[in-house]
């Protein structure tokens, strides 16, 4: 265990000696907790991290226009354009894999959800559905149902283990919430929570930010911290023991997420893919979502800021956007590919710069809440392993059926509790209508469309229906 003197030396040699500037003022207890925090820092890598962050933040944004091309048609499947026989084949393949316990789901739930602004993990959020279900509960029920559907089809009792990546901010409340809710009726041993790493936030000149006199400002290392966390927590071994060969990775905030979607899983398995991405068509060239495409021949997600508007606006002969494959953080990964990533490619993953307002203590030790961005948080992204895939495929789905993320508090224009709630209600109205129901408004008059506003308050439990069946 490193003593104070050694820590001082390490910090000094990384140009971070200011971290201990308030040491003399700390109580014994504060010193002990600060030491604990300092000891888990990657001290040998500290200089590289801090200087790298400052350099990356100062560098001009990369422009990839000259190097990109769309994903070739043969690597794309689509709910809208693939024929019914293919869709049926993929669905059956997916259900078969699920029935054999080969499929797990992995939830990325380590984010701080700063835009939504609630002091608890986003998965615990209740968007105001008639049932008052939280995002976690909806997801748990979808797992129940897909296990049931696969089991019914193949006469077996099967399990879809639920891996949940959390962070220092979300682990304890998430564990408590699951326990209080009796794990939503799932077998606790099939819910595997683990924690991603945290890294220090730094100033634009590469100095670690102190958030208290004895506390460093730390942030989770991005959802691409998943790959390190899988190694740290021996998750791939657990998957191996459970027989899980295919993983569906998704974000906590998409209320429409089809976990372990058999059609997507079946498509990827049938194509022999080691990595797949679900996408939705961009609504407009200017929509600020990453686009799945190829850069210098390899699959990658290109951010809106990395291409010129002219490139985003390019259209093909039929008028469709050339770069329309909007990334929705919904991925298929094989365990074999994850093993490769953890053994070989881990260290090559890109670092992305996020410029944020990070509360800090000034020279006099007063806590300051900055009004403009003052800090850099380095993040890895879950999709940054795409370039290492040997067989990468894309599956296009309908936005109204599969993607409605909760990012912002009500009052914002997009991706709010209201938009998420309405997307789910509208979907359930469409399902009911397709099954022959007539929707009535509060006065008993038939509604013309499920999309009418205000939305019909009609909700179907995921325990009853997974994709409208
Ligand atoms: P977002 O990029 O939307 O971030 O994460 P966020 O933390 O939820 O929200 P803001 O940006 O602070 O408002 C997309 C997904 O990645 C997960 C989130 O939990 C969400 O499911 N994530 C993000 C992690 O698991 N770890 C991270 O370090 C960051």
Question: Which atom of ligand 1 is found nearest the CA of 219?
Answer: 28
Position 450 scores a pLDDT of 61
Q: Phi-psi bin for 5: left (phi > 0), alpha (psi -120 to 50), beta?
A: alpha
- Tell me the C-alpha distance between 411 and 414, whole Å: 9
Distance 19 CA to ligand 1 centre (A): 27
Number of neighbouring beta carbons within 10 Å of residue 350: 12
pLDDT score for 451: 67
CA of 114 to the centre of ligand 1 (A): 9
Nearest CA to ligand 1 atom 10: 113
What does the alpha-carbon distance between residue 166 and residue 420 come to, in Å, rounded to a whole number? 22
Could you tell me which of 424, 433, 435 has the C-alpha nearest to residue 400? 424
pLDDT of residue 405: 98
Domain CATH for 64 = 3.90.550.10
Helix runs in 327-386, H state only: 335-340
Q: Could you tell me the distance, in angstroms and rounded to a whole number, from the CA of residue 113 to the centre of ligand 1?
A: 6
E strand spans, 153-225: 162-166, 191-195, 198-200, 202-203, 210-212, 215-216, 218-220
Please give the pLDDT value at position 201: 95
| Tokens of residue 175, six digits | 């564990």
Q: Is 232 exposed, middle or buried (0-12, 13-18, 19+ CB in 10 A)?
A: middle
Whether 93 is covered by a domain: the verdict is yes
Kindly give the residue spans of alpha helices, DSSP state H, lying in 247-302. 262-270
- Ligand 1 pocket test: pick from 110, 111, 233 the residue with the most ligand atoms within 8 Å of its Cβ: 111
Q: Which residues pair with 194 in a beta bridge?
A: 165
C-alpha 127 to ligand 1 mean position (Å): 18
Pocket (CB within 6 angstroms of ligand 1): 108-115, 122, 165, 167, 196, 220-223, 225, 251-253, 407
Examine residue 175 and state whether it is found in any structural domain, yes or no. Answer: yes
Q: Rounded distance, CA 204 to CA 58, Å?
A: 8
User: 123 alpha carbon to ligand 1 midpoint, in Å?
Assistant: 11
- Spatial distance between the Cα atoms of 85 and 82, rounded to a whole number of angstroms: 8
**CB contact set of 381 (below 8 Å; sequence gap of 6+):** 222, 223, 224, 301, 350, 352
Ligand 1 centre to CA of 170 (Å) is 11
Residue 353 lies in a domain: yes
Helix (H, G, I), strand (E, B) or coil at 278: strand
SS3 230: helix
Nearest CA residue ID for atom 28, ligand 1: 222
Whether the bond between 454 and the residue before it is cis, its omega within 30 degrees of 0, is: yes
352: which strand partners? 379
The total domain count for the chain is: 1
Closest ligand 1 atom to Cα of 250: 21
Q: Which of 166, 170, 220, 223 to mutate to test the pocket of ligand 1 (most atoms within 8 A of CB)?
A: 223
State how far the Cα of 124 lies from the Cα of 173, in Å rounded to an integer. Answer: 9
Pick the atom of ligand 1 nearest to 115's CA: 13
The whole-angstrom separation of Cα 326 and Cα 291 is: 5
Q: Render pLDDT for 309-324 as a digit per residue (tens, 0 to 9).
A: 999 999 999 999 999 9
- Ligand 1 centroid – CA 465 distance (Å): 28
Asked whether 248 and 331 are in contact (CB, 8 A), the reply is yes
Of all protein residues, whose CA lies closest to atom 9 belonging to ligand 1?
113
Comparing C-alpha atoms, which of 239, 230, 288, 280 is closest to residue 258?
280
- Domain, as residue range, for 292: 41-419
On whether residue 335 sits in a domain, the answer given is yes
The residues with which 395 forms a beta bridge, in sequence order, are 77, 278
**Integer Cα distance of 469 and 466 in angstroms:** 7
Give me the pLDDT at residue 329, please: 97
Question: Any idea which residue has 């071994």 for tokens?
Answer: 237
Task: Decide: 380 and 351 in contact? Cβ < 8 Å.
Answer: yes
Asked if residue 136 belongs to a domain, the reply is yes
Closest C-alpha to ligand 1, atom 18: 111
Q: pLDDT value at position 342?
A: 94
CA distance 39 to 73: 50
Q: Residue 199: left (phi > 0), alpha (psi -120 to 50), or beta? A: beta
Q: What is the pLDDT of residue 84?
A: 97
Tens digit of pLDDT at every position of the chain (469 positions): 678 899 999 999 999 999 999 999 999 999 999 999 998 888 888 888 888 888 888 988 888 999 999 999 999 999 999 999 999 999 999 999 999 999 999 999 999 998 999 999 999 999 999 999 999 999 999 999 999 999 999 999 999 999 999 999 999 999 999 999 999 999 999 999 999 999 999 999 999 999 999 999 999 999 999 999 999 999 999 999 999 999 999 999 999 999 999 999 999 999 999 999 999 999 999 999 999 999 999 999 999 889 999 999 999 999 999 999 999 999 999 999 999 999 999 889 988 999 989 999 999 999 999 999 999 999 999 999 999 999 999 999 999 999 999 999 999 999 999 999 999 999 999 999 999 999 887 788 888 776 667 788 899 999 999 999 9
Ligand 1 atom nearest to CA at 222: 28
> Would 393 be classed as within a structural domain?
yes
Taking CA atoms only, the protein residue closest to ligand 1 atom 5 is 111
Nearest CA to ligand 1 atom 2: 111
Residue 23 lies in a domain: no
Residue nearest to atom 22 of ligand 1 (CA): 111
Residue 272 lies in a domain: yes
Provide CB contacts within 8 A for 408, sequence distance 6+.
115, 116, 414, 415, 416
The span from the CA of 455 to the CA of 299, in Å, is: 39
The pLDDT value recorded for residue 198 is 94
**Across-strand partners of 246?**
103, 334
């Amino acid at each position: 265990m490193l003593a104070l003197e050694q820590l001082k030396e390490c910090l000094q040699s990384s140009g971070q000696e200011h971290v201990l500037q308030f040491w003399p003022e700390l109580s014994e207890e504060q010193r002990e907790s600060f030491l604990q925090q300092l000891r888990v820092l990657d001290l040998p890598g500290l200089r590289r991290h801090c200087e790298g962050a400052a350099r990356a933040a100062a560098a001009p944004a990369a422009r990839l226009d000259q190097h990109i091309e769309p994903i070739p048609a043969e690597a794309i499947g689509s709910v809208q354009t693939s024929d019914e026989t293919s869709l049926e084949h993929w669905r059956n393949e997916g259900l078969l894999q699920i029935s054999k316990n080969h499929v797990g789901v992995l939830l990325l739930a380590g984010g701080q959800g700063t835009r939504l602004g609630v002091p608890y993990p986003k998965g615990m959020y209740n968007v105001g559905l008639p049932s008052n279900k939280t995002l976690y509960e909806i997801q748990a029920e979808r797992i129940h149902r897909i296990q049931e559907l696969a089991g019914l089809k193949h006469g077996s009792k099967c399990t879809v283990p639920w891996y949940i990546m959390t962070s220092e901010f979300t682990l304890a409340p998430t564990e408590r919430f699951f326990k209080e809710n009796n794990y939503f009726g799932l077998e606790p041993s099939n819910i595997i929570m683990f924690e991603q790493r945290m890294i220090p936030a730094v100033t634009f000149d590469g100095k670690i930010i102190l958030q208290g006199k004895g506390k460093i400002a730390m942030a989770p290392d991005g959802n691409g911290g998943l790959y390190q966390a899988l190694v740290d927590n021996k998750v791939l071994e657990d998957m191996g023991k459970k027989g899980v060969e295919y993983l569906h990775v998704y974000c906590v905030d998409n209320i429409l997420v089809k976990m372990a979607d058999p059609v997507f899983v079946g498509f990827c398995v049938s194509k022999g893919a080691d990595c797949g991405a679900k996408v939705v068509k961009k609504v407009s060239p200017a929509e600020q979502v990453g686009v799945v495409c190829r850069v210098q021949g390899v699959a990658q997600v290109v951010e809106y800021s990395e291409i010129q508007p002219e490139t985003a606006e390019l259209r093909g002969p039929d008028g469709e956007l050339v770069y329309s494959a909007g990334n929705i953080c919904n991925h298929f990964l094989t365990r074999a590919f994850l093993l490769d990533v953890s053994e070989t490619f881990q260290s090559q993953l890109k670092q992305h710069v996020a410029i944020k307002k990070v509360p800090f203590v000034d020279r006099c030790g007063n806590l300051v809440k900055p009004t403009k961005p003052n800090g850099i948080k380095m993040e890895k992204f879950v999709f940054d392993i795409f370039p290492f895939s040997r067989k990468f495929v894309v599956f296009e789905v309908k936005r109204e059926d599969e993607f409605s993320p909760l990012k912002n508090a009500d009052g914002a224009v997009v991706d709010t509790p209201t938009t998420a709630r309405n997307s789910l209600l509208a979907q359930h109205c469409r399902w009911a209508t397709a099954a022959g129901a007539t929707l009535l408004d509060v006065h008993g008059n038939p509604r013309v469309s499920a999309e009418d506003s205000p939305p019909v308050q009609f909700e179907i439990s995921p325990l009853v229906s997974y994709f409208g069946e």
